[in-house]
Amino acid sequence: MKFDNITKIKLIFFLSSLYFFTPIITLFYFSRGLNTFQAVSLEGFLIMAVLISEIPTGIIADRIGRKHAITILLGLFIIGNVITIYAQTYSLFIIVQFIFGIGIAFGSGAIEALVYDSLASFGKEKEMSKVWGSINFYGLVAMIIAAIIGGYIARNHDPKLFVMLIWLFVIFSSFAFIMSFFVKEKYPKKELTKENPLILFKESTRSILKNKSLKKIIYLTVMTQPFVFILLFLFQPYFLIAKVNNSIYGIAVALGLIFGAILIKYAYKIEKQIGMKKTIFLTTILPGLLYFAMVFLIGPIISVAWYILMQGFMKIREPLFSQYQNDHINSYNRATVLSIISMITSFYLVIMRFAIGAISNHNLLLGFIIMGLIITISSVIFRIDETSLA
């Protein structure tokens, strides 16, 4: 295997996705004195940080180079996790979420832009969905491996083992951090740095508003979001309603990740097999239909099956929409445009998180119905075809 940019990014994704602490992170917060609300609310601060940082970090990435943005992302994640290990107060954990949020904002457009430009330098930009799917596949495989290992190591729920799992993440992320210095910038640096940040932002916003095809893709992308992180918090009480055995929870998560990893890796083949129009429609509407299935067909086995299917179909859209978006964005401001799109999506998800959370707190299944309705109706209203992507 040639050790090129794409291979390096795959390895960086793998090493930095070894979240050994995923099975016990809430228990870790409890061990530091946080209550359930405080633990869950930390993600709200994370999203706030991403929203605030999205545009400036995208502009910085376009000016200093995308490879440096990746290095900053990894560095902030390492710093944030080291602080987490020693943090004892809610306020300090909030500060950590802002560090993570800024890091995520740096990587949201920069990594994708660097991959696309790396392919474009060889005239292979049409392979973006295939390559991006493969890169995300490496990340998913790492998460599966880390979740199994982390769950086994911390099976006794010893707080000292929780800390050890976070240190393991820091160690492997440090290898990814070092590797990021060897990634090559494929777009000439002088082209990246000559634009004024304000002008770059204005031009990026204008390019979105004037590009009808890109706007249609953005409408569809945002309005058919499958609410991944909302389901992350709701699937456990849903399993209680369905009377799923407690020992199945972890297995269901692992199987869902595996199914998602397979679909995300071969999304481009599915597109080739059934065509672009059908692929887009199916990948957007299926999560909506599955939310309905989760409400009206409940049981200890069938509910687990719905969850696994949902995890897979939530992931398959990522490499496909990455291809469609990037095909309509200029290279010189790609990270800025992608950051604007990410900011719009994040803003929508913040609003929906509070809305769906309030509804689900009153009636969990009603929350699922609302999510299903939003996704299904949006998939039909904002449906696009080949002419929209030309």
Q: Which of 116-125, 133-142, 293-302 has the lowest mean pLDDT?
A: 116-125
In the block, tokens 């009636």 appear at 363
Tokens of residue 84, six digits: 């987490």
Distance between start and end Cα atoms, the chain: 33
Mean pLDDT for 287-315 is: 92
Q: Give the Cβ contact number of residue 215 at 10 Å.
A: 14
SS3 41: helix
The pLDDT tens digits for 237-279 are 787 788 987 667 667 778 888 888 788 777 777 777 887 778 8
Average pLDDT, stretch 321-348? 71
- Determine the Cα–Cα distance for residues 377 and 298; give it in Å rounded to an integer: 23
Return the closest-CA partner of residue 20 out of 193, 123, 179, 164.
164
Closest CA to 312 of 243, 387, 228, 192: 228
Whether residue 192 has pLDDT greater than 60: no
Distance of alpha carbon 114 from alpha carbon 94, whole angstroms? 30
- Examine the pLDDT at 60 and tell me if it is beyond 80: no
Mean pLDDT to the nearest integer, 104-122: 76
Distance, CA of 59 to CA of 319 (rounded, Å): 23
pTM recorded for the entire structure: 0.67
1-182 and 195-390 share one fold: yes
Q: Could you tell me if 169 and 19 are in contact, meaning their C-beta atoms sit under 8 angstroms apart?
A: yes
What integer is the mean pLDDT of 130-153?
82
CA nearest neighbour of 109 among 347, 343, 350, 349: 343
- 233: tokens are 């918090």
Q: Check residue 196 and give left, alpha or beta (phi > 0: left; psi -120 to 50: alpha).
A: beta
Q: Judge whether residue 191 has pLDDT over 50.
A: no
> Can you tell me the mean pLDDT for 384-389?
59
In whole numbers, what is the pLDDT of the chain averaged over residues? 80
Q: Give, in degrees to the nearest 5, the angle at Cα 381 between 377 and 386.
A: 130
Closest CA to 299 of 366, 232, 238, 226: 238
C-beta separation of 242 from 298 below 8 A = yes
DSSP secondary structure letter of residue 387: G
Kindly state the DSSP code that residue 178 receives in the 8-state scheme. Answer: H
Per-residue confidence band for 196, with pLDDT thresholds at 50, 70 and 90: low
The CATH architecture that domain 195-390 belongs to is Up-down Bundle (1.20)
**Nearest by Cα to 81 from 177, 182, 157, 183:** 177
Q: How far apart are CA 242 and CA 163, in angstroms?
A: 33
Higher model confidence: residue 77 or residue 320? 77
| Residue 200 pLDDT grade (very low, low, confident, very high; cuts 50, 70, 90) | low
Choice between 388 and 105, residue whose per-residue pLDDT is larger: 105
Could you tell me the fold of the domain covering 1-182?
Growth Hormone; Chain: A; (1.20.1250)
pLDDT digits (tens, 9 = 90+) for 341-379: 777 887 887 788 777 877 877 788 998 999 999 999 999
* Average pLDDT rounded to a whole number, residues 24-42: 77
- What percent of the chain has a predicted confidence (pLDDT) above 90? 23
- Phi and psi at 243, nearest 5°, equal 60, 40
Q: How far is it, in rounded angstroms, from Cα 170 to Cα 358?
A: 35
pLDDT at 225: 86
> Which residue has better confidence, 384 or 83?
83
Domain ranges, ordered by start, for the chain? 1-182, 195-390
* pLDDT for position 189: 45
Helix (H) or strand (E) holding 307: helix 302-315
Specify the higher pLDDT residue, 222 or 318. 222
| 2, pLDDT greater than 90 | no
What mean pLDDT comes out for the span 154-168?
A: 88
